[in-house]
Chains A and B, each alone.
Chain A
Amino acid sequence: MNILVCISNVPDTTSKINFKEENTAFESQGVQFIINPNDEFGLTRAVWFQQKVGAKVTVVTVGDVSCEPILRKCLAIGADQALRVDLQPQDGFEVAAQLAAVCKKESYDLIITGRESIDYNGGMVGGMLATLLDMPYVANCIQMDIASDEVSVQREIDGGKESLSAALPLIIGAQKGLVEEKDLIIPNMRGIMQARQKPLEVLPPEAAAPASKVQVFEKPAEKGPVKLVDAEDIDGLIDLLENEAKVL
């Protein structure tokens, strides 16, 4: 089984978000970058298949050289090889178009993207990639089992979950639940040493135009101070919610 895991390089979840160049670009200085958490759940599941059934796991990202540390981390976690499409993408469609080109060169049985990246939150790469490749896609995937060619997957829906049967090849949008937080692999020294020897190939981008472009960023308005209500004065709180906030 050949598995491709699509990785996004994103600011750490604790990052304070700032912008530069008159709010037209993200300020990456001083920001720690991590593997997008949804992608990491997917990678962990892929490494599980590698260990159980000998799947080959390739990770890919679309980004400039600054993304290489997280690709090395993916290799240290257990991926067999890494690909980097050398392009700073403008939007999710551009990412999907580049990934589609990668997937046309090599046949993958399972392609894993994250449900969404935690930076631009587009939530579009998996569905777009699947449509470009004419493959089925299961979003918000919280469980997946493969027995020969039969695949059973679960998708989280609003207020519940949906169980589906599918066949390979398949694309899924990974999220928490696909593996548990405690199953995430922390690379050990051996993994880190091995990762240095594993192949990381840089691919030139294909010609593809983005479908959208960010014009300007904006930070939320500073909010006023909290209105404190005495713990004995529950009626006071209810009154504020009813008559001031008007939410009851």
Chain B
Amino acid sequence: MAVVVYVESENGTPKKTGLEVASYGRAIADAQGVSLVAVGFNLMDHERLNAFGVDKLYNIDTQGAIYFDVERYSEALAQVATKESASLMVVSSSADGRYIGPIVAVKTDAAYLSNVVGLPSQYEPLQVKRTCFTNKAFNETQSTKERVVLSLSSNSYGLHEKPGTAEVLSGDYPVSSNSLKVESVEKVTDKVSIADADIVVSGGRGLKGPENWHLIEDLADVLGAATACSKPVSDMGWRSHSEHVGQTGKPVASNLYIAIGVSGAIQHLAGINASKVKVVINSDPEAPFFKAADYGIVGDAFEVVPVLTEKLKARMQ
């Protein structure tokens, strides 16, 4: 018996979401008295996983294939899960984690439960709390299958170290036919993505135009934050769709969310509800965002934000 976690990586280094699922998997493995097995692809500094109590690591060498390959990766995870008699598999809620999770679930005849926030409330049968209605509510969901794949909501569990030494196995699980071929990947490399960010700085219509986005970007730079925007801003083409957060855009589960000139439509608030601390800066004291925020400044973004950026910069130095 084992808990199997999929540790995502970037350039051979485990990502924070990967370490979070390892932390979460360790807690479950301890509760059930089973071992924690991690699956990674082309990991270079896998020693990092020793700090998170991984008992066994399948470090799969894809023979030079560098891109995420859903067919190959899902097959490898399914085969490891079967070999290790896994009762539970954990993936993150990243784009790749949520892509591979349902596929692995069907391959291994498992239930799939996404957006999980917190450890199972019971194990037989497995029951977890998850968000639904885009963070407007939660539900307790029970599996009706023997085996479960969970997708853990980012930043919901956090990193918990537990030193150990992982036995490292290699190998590859190539698939016979690849019907999808990744041709290229375009990534903004100098910026942190919304999914990986601890802090997100978001701008709304109150910024009056795309030419004023340096206010958002400068503040985000100082904080090492990702930038985001409201739906009207992306609909008007001021910013790319990939920055749109809300019910039809991306969900945000950061530790700190700073909304500047965002009024706070119900769809936007739903999308960012899982963020831990919310700050709003808006000139309209009646903006709905003030009802959802933890801290707020009623003021002109064009005056407040540059001062905030300067003061934070001075503080960081």
A-side residues, CB < 8 A to B, are 11, 13-14, 17, 19, 37-38, 91-93, 96, 118-128, 130-132, 135-140, 142, 152, 155-167, 176-177, 181-182, 209-220, 223, 226-231, 234-235, 237-238, 240-241, 245, 247-248
Contacts and interface: CB of A to CB of B under 8 A. Distances in A.
Interface string B128-160: 010111111111111111000001000000000
B248 A156 contact: no
A152 B184 CA distance: 11
Contact of B133 (A17, A124, A140, A227): A17
Nearest to B122: A215
Contacts of A135: 179
The prevalent SS among residues of A at the interface is mixed
Contacts of A155: 95, 99
B295 interface: yes
Interface of B: 67-68, 70-71, 94-96, 98-103, 105-107, 110-115, 127, 129, 131-145, 151, 179-188, 191-196, 199, 223, 235, 241-242, 244, 247-249, 255-256, 266-267, 270, 273, 276-277, 279-280, 290-300, 303-304, 307-308, 311-312, 315
A223 B292 contact: yes
Nearest to B70: A137
Contacts of B300: 231
A122 B99 CA distance: 11
Contacts of B293: 226
A234 B313 CA distance: 13
Nearest to A120: B132
Choose among A17, A125, A142, A247 the residue with the greatest number of B CB atoms under 10 Å from its CB. A247
Nearest to A24: B139
A138 to B, nearest CB: 7
A122 B114 contact: yes
Contact of A158 (B70, B94, B102, B143): B94
Contacts of B194: 158-159
Given A128-B112, A157-B96, A240 B101 contact: no
The prevalent SS among residues of B at the interface is mixed
A227 B273 CA distance: 17
A159 B187 CA distance: 6
Contacts of A158: 94-96, 193-196
Choose among A19, A118, A136, A212 the residue with the greatest number of B CB atoms under 10 Å from its CB. A212
Contact of A215 (B131, B141, B182, B299): B141
Given A122-B114, A162-B67, A176-B248, A237 B185 contact: no
Q: Which 3 A-B residue pairs are closest in the complex by CB-CB distance?
A: A159-B193, A231-B299, A160-B187
B241 A176 contact: yes
B143 A212 contact: yes
B277 A164 contact: no
21 contacts: A38-B248, A118-B133, A118-B247, A121-B132, A125-B102, A128-B106, A158-B195, A159-B191, A161-B186, A211-B105, A211-B111, A212-B141, A216-B139, A218-B140, A227-B295, A229-B297, A231-B297, A238-B308, A238-B311, A240-B295, A247-B199
A227 B181 CA distance: 51
Nearest to B178: A136
B185 A247 contact: no
B298 A157 contact: no
A37 B247 CA distance: 9
Choose among A223, A234, A238, A245 the residue with the greatest number of B CB atoms under 10 Å from its CB. A234
Nearest to B126: A212
Given A163-B184, A214-B142, A215-B127, 10 more contacts: A93-B105, A120-B133, A131-B103, A152-B183, A158-B194, A161-B242, A211-B112, A215-B142, A228-B298, A235-B311
Contacts of A122: 112, 114
Contacts of B112: 92-93, 122, 124, 128, 211-212
Contacts of B291: 226
